[in-house]
Structure 1
Amino acid sequence: MKLTVLYRGPLSSCNYGCEYCPFGKWKHTDEELAKDRADLERFLAWVEARTGDTVSVFFTPWGEALIWPWYQQALARLTHLPHVERVAAQTNLSCKLDWVKDCRAEKLGIWATYHPEWMKRRRFVAQCEALTSLGVRHSAGMVGFLRFAEEAEALRRELSDDTYLWINAVKDGQEEPYSPEDVARFTAVDPLFPVNNVRHPSLGRACRGGESVISVDGEGTARRCHFIDEPIGNIYAPDFDQSLRPRPCAKTTCGCHIGYVHMDYLELDRVFGSGILERVPVKPLWRRQDVAPRVSPRE
Structure 2
Amino acid sequence: MSLKVIYRGHLTDCNYSCEYCPFAKEKNSREMQVLDKKDLDRFVAWVEHNSSADYPMEIFITPYGEALVRKWYQEAVIHLSHLPHVRKVAAQTNLAWNPQWLSRCNPQTTALWTTYHPDFVSEDKFVDKSNALSAMHIRHSVGVVGLKQHFPHITALRQRLPQDIYMWINAYKREADYYSEAEIAFLENIDQLFRLNLPWYESMGKACKAGDEVVSIEGNGDLFRCHFIKTRKGNIFTDPLASMLKKEACTKATCHCHIGYIHLDDMKSHEVYGSGLLERIPVSYLSNG
Specify the alignment match of 1:288 in structure 2: none
The 5 Å alignment of 1:205-224 reads: 205-224=206-225
Structure 2 residue corresponding to 1:111, chosen from 104, 110, 113: 113
Q: Is the 8 A contact 1:210 1:232 kept in 2?
A: no
Give the 3-state SS of the residue equivalent to 1:231 in structure 2. Answer: coil
Q: Aligned partner of 1:256: which letter?
A: C
**Mapped partners of 1:106, 1:284: distance in 2:** 16
The 5 Å alignment of 1:29-178 reads: 29-52=29-52, 53-173=55-175, 177-178=178-179
**Mapped partners of 1:171, 1:54: distance in 2:** 35
Specify the alignment match of 1:231 in structure 2: 232
Specify the alignment match of 2:265 in structure 1: 264
CA 1:191 to 1:46, structure 2 compared with 1: closer, same or farther past 3 Å? same
Give the 3-state SS of the residue equivalent to 1:73 in structure 2. Answer: helix
Unaligned runs of 5+ in 1: 286-299
Query: What whole-Å deviation, never above 9, does each CA across 1:214-235 have from its counterpart, x for those lacking one?
Result: 0111111111111111112211
Query: What whole-Å deviation, never above 9, does each CA across 1:145-202 have from its counterpart, x for those lacking one?
Result: 111112111111111101111100011147x621111111111111100000011221
Q: Is the 8 A contact 2:4 2:60 kept in 1?
A: yes
What TM-score, normalized to structure 2?
A: 0.95
**Mapped partners of 1:95, 1:137: distance in 2:** 17
Unaligned runs of 5+ in 2: none
**How far is the alpha carbon of 1:24 from its aligned partner?**
4.3
**Mapped partners of 1:22, 1:257: distance in 2:** 16
Q: Is the 8 A contact 2:93 2:115 kept in 1?
A: yes
**Mapped partners of 2:239, 2:155: distance in 1:** 50
Q: Aligned partner of 1:269: which letter?
A: H
**Mapped partners of 2:227, 2:133: distance in 1:** 28
**Mapped partners of 2:51, 2:143: distance in 1:** 34
**Mapped partners of 1:78, 1:151: distance in 2:** 34
Give the 3-state SS of the residue equivalent to 2:4 in structure 1. Answer: strand
Q: Is the 8 A contact 2:24 2:64 kept in 1?
A: no
Specify the alignment match of 1:291 in structure 2: none
Instruction: Report sequence identity in percent.
Output: 44
**Mapped partners of 1:119, 1:70: distance in 2:** 24
Q: Aligned partner of 1:103: which letter?
A: C
Give the 3-state SS of the residue equivalent to 1:283 in structure 2. Answer: helix
**How far is the alpha carbon of 1:240 from its aligned partner?**
3.5
**Mapped partners of 1:238, 1:59: distance in 2:** 22
Give the 3-state SS of the residue equivalent to 2:59 in structure 1. Answer: strand
What is the Cα-based RMSD across aligned positions, in Å? 1.5
